[in-house]
Every structure is written in C-alpha cells, then in structure tokens.
C-alpha cells in the first residue's frame, strides 16, 4: 500500500468517526433519547475535562493502567516462557495440547468468583484474573510459532551442530516472533477488559469503579466519559505496540 493510499484510508476513517459524532450530537440535541441515558458528546467531553481537572479521572486512569500493564507483563513473560518450553518439544505438545485447548476457552470473567473465594475482594485477585486471562494468546501463539518452524531449518541446525538452546533462540524464536507480537497486542486488549471487569466486581478503584458509580447515580456524562477514555486507552496502546512490532520485524519487510 502506497503512502497516498494510507492517507486516503486514514482520512476515510476520520470522516467515519466524525460522522458518528455528528449523528450522536444530533440525537442528543433533538432529545430522541432521554439525556439521562444518552448525553451529547459535548457533555461527555465536558465531564471528561472536569474529571481530569479535579484529579479523579487521573488517579483512576493510572490505577487501571497499572493493573493492565502489570498483568499483561506477567502474562507475556509467563506465556512466552511456557510456550517456548512446550513448543520446543513435540512430546510436550502432544501431551499438553488437549489440556491447553480445554482450559483456553474458559472465560476469565467466569473464574472471578473462584478467585474471590481464594483471594477475597483484593487487588491481588484482580491482578491474578488479568494475568490468567491475557496469558493464553501469548502462550498459544508461541507454541504455534515453534511448531511451525520450517523442518529444513532444523535440519540445517543439526548439520551445523547447533545446541538445543541455539536452535531455540536463533531459529525457533525468530520464527515465532510475528505470532508472539500479534498475540501480545491481543493480550493487552484482554488485560484492559479484565482490569475493568475486575474493578467493577471487586470495586478496587479505577475506571471500572468510576463507570459503576456513574451508572448507579445516573450520571450519564461521567459514564460516557469513562467509556470514551477506555476506548482511547485501547487505541493508543494498540498503536504503540503496532509501531514496536513494525520496528522489531523490519527484517521481514521486502
């Protein structure tokens, strides 16, 4: 895709977003939906600005970002490390594959009551759920990347007399890196979602608690301000990881 084509797609995306905002503002102005449930984007933006001026949204945003980032880092380290151990061994893949496929579809939010029973309504409970829920994309992507290593490369490694560690870090890991980086972007999104869900259920502060408080008090501008902020966090974090992924995988570009 040429630079002109990328600019065209970017402009089209911005135009769609502005059209959505205009439609939202029109519905709010005409009162087609009660303002108790749907404030205009102007009121949501005002609530967002007021929240940052008072410091409330700043504090709660930082709390959510901290849980999301720590849980994601733990999941990334654990998922990649465990995936390398399993992916490097065909025997381990054969024995552990069915078990992993059984556990993977379990929704992490459904495990929150079990986590509450063990850890209570604590920050550790929320962090554990975030790490557990976001580990699966990295784990399975690493296993798949190792399993998909070209057999001829492994044959060349044997001819050259490379050790097992050299094969893992010089051949298998670079081969799996595109899958791992894509999975890390997905895992970060899952970490954000689970951070908010955990904050809502355990009421541990953060944007999840902010949204819950606003909904219970029928303060729709504050509620929508929290939702908009969550969307912005997801967008910015994904863009950052996309840039990092592009730099790491420059060797794949023609």
Residue 104 has pLDDT above 80, yes or no: no
Residue 114: band (very low, low, confident or very high) from pLDDT cuts 50, 70, 90:
confident
d(CA 176, CA 194): 26
CA distances 128 to 111, 131, 189, 199, Å, are 10, 5, 16, 12
Residue 254: band (very low, low, confident or very high) from pLDDT cuts 50, 70, 90:
low
Indicate left, alpha or beta for 203 from its phi (over 0: left) and psi (-120 to 50: alpha): left
d(CA 14, CA 4): 15
Mean pLDDT, rounded, for 216-237 = 90
List b or e across 163-173, with b for residues whose CB sees 16 or more CB atoms inside 10 angstroms. Answer: eeeebbeebbb
| CA–CA–CA angle 13, 37, 26 (5° rounding) | 45
DSSP class per residue in 92-125: HHHHHHHHHHHHTTS-GGGGHHHHHHHH-SSHHH
Q: pLDDT tens digit string along 36-89?
A: 888 888 899 999 999 999 888 999 999 999 999 999 999 999 999 999 998 888
Residue 1's Cβ-side half-sphere holds a number of Cα atoms within 13 Å equal to 7
DSSP class per residue in 151-204: HHHHHHHHHHT--HHHHIIIIIHHHHHHHHHHHHHHHHHHHHHHHHHHHHHH--
* 218: its two tokens: 């029928």
Chain-wide mean pLDDT for the chain?
85
List b or e across 59-88, with b for residues whose CB sees 16 or more CB atoms inside 10 angstroms. Answer: ebbebbbebbbebbebbbeebbebbbebbb
Mean pLDDT, rounded, for 131-137 = 88
CATH assignment of 39-252, among 1.10.3720.10, 1.10.10.10, 3.30.70.260, 2.40.50.200: 1.10.3720.10
d(CA 4, CA 204): 47
Residue where the block lists tokens 């089209």:
12
Beta carbons within 10 angstroms of residue 185's beta carbon = 17
Torsion 48-54-55-56 (CA) sign: negative
The pTM of this model reads: 0.86
Residue 251 has pLDDT above 70, yes or no: no
Closest C-alpha to 248, from 165, 189, 185: 185
């Amino acid at each position: 895709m040429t630079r002109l084509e990328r600019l065209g797609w970017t402009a089209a995306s911005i135009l769609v977003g502005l059209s959505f905002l205009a439609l939202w503002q029109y519905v709010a102005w005409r009162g087609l939906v009660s303002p108790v449930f749907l404030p205009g984007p102007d009121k949501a933006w005002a609530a967002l600005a007021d929240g940052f001026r008072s410091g409330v949204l700043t504090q709660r945003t930082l709390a959510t970002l901290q849980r999301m980032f720590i849980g994601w880092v733990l999941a990334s380290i654990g998922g990649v490390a465990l995936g390398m151990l399993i992916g490097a061994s065909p025997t381990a893949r054969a024995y552990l594959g069915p078990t992993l496929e059984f556990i993977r579809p379990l929704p992490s939010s459904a495990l929150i009551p079990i986590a509450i029973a063990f850890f209570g309504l604590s920050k550790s409970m929320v962090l554990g759920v975030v790490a557990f829920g976001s580990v699966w994309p990295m784990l399975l992507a690493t296993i798949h990347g190792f399993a998909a290593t070209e057999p001829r490369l492994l044959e060349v490694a044997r001819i050259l007399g490379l050790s097992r560690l050299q094969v893992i870090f010089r051949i298998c890991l670079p081969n799996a890196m595109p899958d791992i980086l894509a999975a890390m972007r997905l895992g970060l999104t899952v970490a954000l979602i689970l951070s908010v869900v955990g904050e809502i259920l355990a009421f541990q502060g953060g944007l999840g608690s902010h949204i819950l408080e606003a909904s219970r008090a029928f303060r729709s501008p504050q509620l929508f301000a929290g939702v908009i902020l969550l969307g912005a966090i997801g967008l910015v974090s994904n863009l950052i990881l996309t840039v990092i992924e592009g730099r790491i995988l420059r060797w794949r570009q023609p």
